[in-house]
Amino acid sequence: MKIEQIIASATANAVKALYGIEADTNTCMPQKTKKEFEGNLTVVVFPFLRASKKGPEATAQEIGEYLIANEPAVAGFNVIKGFLNLVIAPAFWAGLLHEIEHDEHFGITQATDESPLVMIEYSSPNTNKPLHLGHVRNNLLGYSLSRIMEANGNRVVKTNIVNDRGIHICKSMLAWQKWGNNVTPETAGKKGDHLIGDFYVLFDKHYKAEVAAIMEKENKSKEEAEAASPLMAEAREMLRRWEAGDEEVRSVWRMMNEWVYAGFDETYRRMGVDFDKIYYESETYLEGKDKVLEGLEKGIMYRKEDGSVWADLTGEGLDHKLLLRSDGTSVYMTQDIGTAKLRFIDYPIDKMIYVVGNEQNYHFQVLSILLDKLGFKWGKDLVHFSYGMVELPEGKMKSREGTVVDADDLMDEMEATARETSAELGKLDGCTAEEAREISRIVGMGALKYFILKVDPRKNMTFNPKESIDFNGNTGPFIQYTYARIRSVMRKAADAGIDYSKIEMNSVVPAEKEIDLIQRLASYPATVAEAGRLYSPAQIANYVYDLVKEYNQFYHDFSILKEENEAVRAFRLMLSANVAKVIASGMSLLGIDVPERM
């Protein structure tokens, strides 16, 4: 039983014995004592004042005296107003460390066949451009969330919906046909997604020039010139032909999409994210139309005079939502309904989590209501994991203008900066060229992932590559270096023939700093649970940083390998090994590798 549960139970017993009432265990649950006070755990006694009919100090004093007399884990206490600060017996902390040592999956709840099935959608790229910085935050959040939900005992399906149809796709296709000269990724020496992205930018360049020329020559407004654009008319005609199943258009579409998918796969692999199932908008949008027409038959939707189909959501405090245009074509909402239909057929989903930026908050509010009306049991409780935008110090990015930071370029820069910084600090001394490359990769990707994931996902953020690669402060490299430092200590111990698991430690009384570390280790399961409840990888990231910061203070103040007392040395080695274990576990939940040496 966790120390918090032991104290909560003992406090409930005290309240019953002293005041004759049954106290809720949750009310008795202690919290970590604030740093400015003496103690390990604090019980707030204000909920018991009505029963005690005494002031807060007197009530806390009575409960403290009861715990001293009846609970062996409590070694002392002090009272600050209505706060009962408890000192936990040192022997208890040593026993707790042994429990952590022997729990291979400490902090992680294993899923069973009966566990809830959670589907998490993330990435959702368009096939007209490569993944960019915004996609990086989306992918890292989605993948980390999948690991956290698994760690909380859920079965998880990681899914992706690829936006592979629409006018934006046709723009890239048309530009390739007009100005591509049959170029391929192989002949261009480029990744396929980058090549197609270039044509998307090229289309916009020609389109803007065409619109400007029409405005000048025909004295039209910008809106009139855009409506008169022959280039845009060609793109719309291409989309019409695609929707009609024109094989000439479809063959170009399939070829160019395959180029993009190959590029995406390479980026995903390098980013360290993956999917269990990928859906394609081209295969789901018609399914959504069928589901909407089914809703129309049941009276859930209604049809206007122009033939368009709508949902009346005024009863839910919203407005009327278009689901099918007058020409029968789908909107994004319809496509999401179709994708949900296929997913529900494929999997017995208990909870659906959509990782999508906060600009789509209203969309998912509506989708939740519509899915519930259409009979999806998880519709009402779907989770929109709404996250803020990510920018660079230079400002916002625009795909059409080619000012977006590609994910691949960003990862190249991170690895190069990591190699340069590590070499300057001597972190790569003694490494082979291959080891140096691998460490640079781990550090660069760790810096990128940690910098993004440590921020509350709901907040907008600015990603600064140079700040992220710092071996001091709240960064991935700082945590990775601490892990490598502990692994170095453990290797030196093994080389010296020291096996702490075979050394008797019962006589060891942990120092206050060691107790602080054990207590922080012991809070890891609660942190994992909280991260799952809040859908927040930042909870894990900042927990690991605090643990690492605490360990470095311990490492600075205490001898480990040079400690002469064999039992104390063994105890500190066990403590270090378990700090490393929890660092690796926590970083794994963030999708971050930790190096054995640096």
Please give the domain boundaries of the chain with CATH numbers for all domains. Answer: 3-88 (3.30.1360.70), 165-275 (no CATH), 410-589 (1.10.730.10)
Tokens at 253, concatenated: 């579409």
> Is residue 401 scored above 80 in pLDDT?
no
Measured in residues, the chain has a length of: 598
Q: What is the pLDDT of residue 397?
A: 40
Strand partners, 524: none
In the chain, the percentage of residues whose pLDDT exceeds 90 is: 83
**Dist CA 11 CA 27 (whole Å):** 9
User: What is residue 245's three-state secondary structure?
Assistant: coil
Please give the single-letter amino acid code of residue 470.
Answer: D
**Dist CA 230 CA 382 (whole Å):** 43
Question: SS3 for 139-163, per residue?
Answer: HHHHHHHHHHHHHECCEEEEEEEEE
pLDDT digits (tens, 9 = 90+) for 467-493: 898 888 899 999 999 999 999 999 999
> Is residue 302 scored above 50 in pLDDT?
yes
Q: What is the pLDDT of residue 91?
A: 83
pLDDT digits (tens, 9 = 90+) for 344-369: 999 999 999 999 999 999 999 999 99
What single DSSP character describes residue 425? T
> Is residue 87 scored above 50 in pLDDT?
yes
Mind giving me the DSSP string for 566-595? HHHHHHHHHHHHHHHHHHHHHHHHTT----
Q: What is the pLDDT of residue 391?
A: 83
**Dist CA 483 CA 264 (whole Å):** 32
Whether 163 and 285 have beta carbons less than 8 Å apart is answered as: no
- Angle of helix 407-424 relative to helix 247-271, nearest 10 degrees? 20
> Is residue 400 scored above 60 in pLDDT?
no
CA neighbours closer than 13 Å in the CB half-sphere of residue 496: 15
**Dist CA 491 CA 488 (whole Å):** 5
pLDDT tier, 465 (very low <50, low <70, confident <90, very high otherwise): confident
pLDDT digits (tens, 9 = 90+) for 269-301: 999 999 999 999 999 888 999 999 999 999 999
Q: What is the pLDDT of residue 498?
A: 95
Q: What is the pLDDT of residue 403?
A: 56
User: What is residue 384's three-state secondary structure?
Assistant: strand
Q: For the ranges 50-59, 87-96, 157-166, 386-395, which has the lowest average pLDDT?
A: 386-395
Q: What is the mean pLDDT of the chain?
A: 93
What single DSSP character describes residue 41? E
Q: What is the pLDDT of residue 421?
A: 86
Q: What is the pLDDT of residue 398?
A: 45
> Is residue 399 scored above 80 in pLDDT?
no
pLDDT digits (tens, 9 = 90+) for 562-584: 999 999 999 999 999 999 999 99
Q: Nearest CA to 88 among 17, 24, 23, 4? A: 4
> Is residue 395 scored above 80 in pLDDT?
no
**Dist CA 195 CA 127 (whole Å):** 11
Whether 483 and 439 have beta carbons less than 8 Å apart is answered as: no
Which pairs count as long-range contacts for 525-531, CB under 8 Å and 24+ apart, including other chains? 525/2, 525/106, 525/107, 526/4, 527/107, 528/107, 528/108, 528/109, 528/148, 528/151, 528/152, 528/589, 529/152, 531/148, 531/589
What single DSSP character describes residue 110? P
How far is C-alpha 527 from the chain's CA centre?
Answer: 14
What single DSSP character describes residue 189? T
